[in-house]
Amino acid sequence: MSDNKNGCLICGEDLVYNDILEKTMCFYCKKIFETNVICKNQHYVCDGCHSLPAYSAIETFCLMNMLKDPLEIAILLMQHPSIKMHGPEHHFLVAASLLTAYYNTINEPSKKSVILTEAQKRAKNILGGFCGYYGNCGAAVGTGIFLSLITQATPLSKKEWELCNLMTSNSLFSIAHAGGPRCCKRNTYLAVIEAARFVNENFQISLKTGKSLQCSFSSFNRECKKEDCKFYKGSRINVLIEKN
């Protein structure tokens, strides 16, 4: 969202320009750089990550971080300048956020590299505008890609096939009932929340996604439903995400 952000890409705070170079770590790639520009909360994004195309930015961040909250990962990724308000990159973003949280949670982060590459290949088959023209939001398909990869499902699988299709249907049901018009941020939230619940209930693996969420992207969306969206910033609705 670089076209709309003047401050820190991570937290929105003002940037501080120092007269002395200091060593600091890039928030996305975790490499050390010398810089004299950093935000008030000590966030720094290197020039390389700042200019990465969307799919590369998603994969780079997911490979390097050890976060276990898929919704937190998704939101941080959506703040990257290459991720637009709407776009097909969200289809990969959903799958990648869930895969990253899953493999970090089960302490198998070394598997992320191969799995994320495959997820990206599959996600690129989901066209932009899929939600309106095909009646199947790409964010929901992203949750199906996620579950297919962690269960190693194929068209000939039995229980795995069932679970993957249930996963996508649960996500799509939630997205559909939120109503149109499309919003890639809202649909990403809903898809990730449904996937976390599904994994918690069917695999007894806790993908925690926090307690509440208020969208920080609403001012960038010309079709935002505002108070009619439960994630709208300023809404009185407190969204329960993690089941007790």
Is 34 buried (19+), middle (13-18) or exposed (0-12) by CB count in 10 A?
exposed
Domains of the chain, residue spans: 1-51, 53-228
Give the pLDDT confidence score for residue 3 in this predicted structure: 42
Peptide bond into 155 cis (omega under 30): no
Model confidence, pTM: 0.84
Q: Is 214:232 a contact under the CB 8 Å cutoff?
A: yes
Instruction: Name the nearest CA neighbour of 63 among 113, 10, 115.
Output: 113
Q: Is 38 helix (H, G, I), strand (E, B) or coil?
A: strand
Span 22-58, pLDDT tens digits: 899 998 888 899 988 888 888 998 888 877 899 999 9
Q: Is 200:167 a contact under the CB 8 Å cutoff?
A: no
Residues 6+ positions from 162 with CB-CB distance below 8 Å:
none
- Dmax over Cα atoms in the chain, in whole Å? 62
Give the pLDDT confidence score for residue 48 in this predicted structure: 80
Give the pLDDT confidence score for residue 235 in this predicted structure: 55
Q: Which residues in the chain show pLDDT less than 70?
A: 1-6, 211, 234-244
Instruction: Name the nearest CA neighbour of 38 among 26, 28, 55, 50.
Output: 26
